[in-house]
Amino acid sequence: MTVTAGGAPGATHTVLATRLGQVTVVQEDGTLTGLYFPRHWPRPDRTAFGPRADDGFEDVERQLGEYLAGDRAVFELPVQVKGIEFDRRVWELISGVPYGKTTTYGDLARSLGAGIDPRDVGAAVGRNPLCIVIPCHRVIGSTGKLTGYAGGLDRKRARLRPGMWCMRLLIPM
């Protein structure tokens, strides 16, 4: 399966080293459109990334580093997500899950309305083109079990490890 990251004129990408390993970051005219781990599933269309251009990603790199270090709870980056309406609704709900909290696929399905299958929500979560920025790692199974993550369960576990980052920025100093 392949998901298109965009591919519009003006798309560029870089590869950043992070605490969770390398991530490929895609921008279109300065707007963040993709953030992918190696072996990301579903596989993004790498031809849509545009040429590699290591300049112009400094703000993404800084904020991603701060977030992964626990020094930032919210990203302040211009983003554009491409997907069908259902997927975008799911991604919007995920974006509302507070830092340090989790939700379930079932909770998201119920928020979307009657008749929505949690498995359909799971599929939309899996198509998230902006892992970490749209915090799909905060979505877990109904029993509390960690389920699929584009970057692998070890990365998801690292993001959710109790006490690692949770709540530090939410309490005024």
Residues 118-159: pLDDT tens digits?
A: 999 988 988 889 988 898 878 877 766 656 655 554 555 555
Q: What is the pLDDT of residue 26?
A: 94
Write the CB contacts of 79 (distance below 8 Å, at least 6 apart in sequence): 31, 32, 33, 130, 133
CATH of the domain at 56: 3.30.160.70
Q: Are residues 6 and 53 in the same domain?
A: yes
Backbone phi and psi for residue 135, each to the nearest 5 degrees, phi listed first: -75, 70
Mean residue pLDDT across the chain: 80
Q: Is the pTM of this model over 0.85?
A: no
> Is residue 64 domain-shared with residue 17, that is, in the same domain?
yes
Q: Residues with catalytic annotation?
A: 136
170 in any annotated domain = no
Looking at residue 148, what is its pLDDT? 61
Query: Is 169 within a domain?
Result: no
Give the type of residue at 119. Answer: R
Of how many residues is the chain composed?
Answer: 173
Per-residue pLDDT at 126: 86
173 neighbors 151 (Cβ within 8 angstroms): no
48 and 91 fall within a common domain: no
Enclosing domain of residue 57: 2-69
Mean pLDDT of 76-102: 92
Report the domain count for the chain: 2
51 and 23 in a common domain: yes
CA distances from 87 to 92, 94, 149 (A): 9, 11, 16
Predicted pLDDT at 161: 56
CATH number of the domain within which 149 lies: 1.10.10.10
Mean pLDDT of 86-96: 95
C-alpha distances in angstroms, 120 versus 42, 49, 143? Answer: 15, 27, 18
The fraction of the chain above a pLDDT of 90, given in percent, is 42
Is 165 part of a structural domain of the chain? no
Considering the domain architecture, whether residues 114 and 149 belong to the same structural domain is answered as yes
